[in-house]
Amino acid sequence: EAGVVQSPRYKIIEKKQPVAFWCNPISGHNTLYWYLQNLGQGPELLIRYENEEAVDDSQLPKDRFSAERLKGVDSTLKIQPAELGDSAVYLCASSLGGGGAHSTDTQYFGPGTRLTVL
Partner 1 sequence: GQNIDQPTEMTATEGAIVQINCTYQTSGFNGLFWYQQHAGEAPTFLSYNVLDGLEEKGRFSSFLSRSKGYSYLLLKELQMKDSASYLCAVSAFSGGYNKLIFGAGTRLAVHP
Which residue lies nearer to partner 1 by CB, 17 or 103? 103
Show the site string, 2-41: x = touches partner 1 by CB under 8 A, - = not. Answer: -xx-----------------------------------xx
Looking at residues 83 to 112 of the shown chain, list those that interact with partner 1 (rule: CB under 8 A).
91, 101-104, 106-112
Smallest gap from residue 110 Cβ to partner 1 (A):
6
Other Cβ atoms less than 10 A from the Cβ of 14: the count is: 11
Say if strands 31-37 and 113-117 run parallel, antiparallel, or are unpaired.
unpaired
Near partner 1 by CB under 8 A, which window of 13-21, 22-30, 53-61, 64-72? Answer: 53-61
Burial grade of 36 (CB within 10 A; 0-12, 13-18, 19 or more): buried
Comparing CB distances to partner 1, the nearer of 27 and 104 is: 104
Binding residues for partner 1 (CB under 8 A): 3-4, 40-45, 48, 55-56, 58, 91, 101-104, 106-112, 114
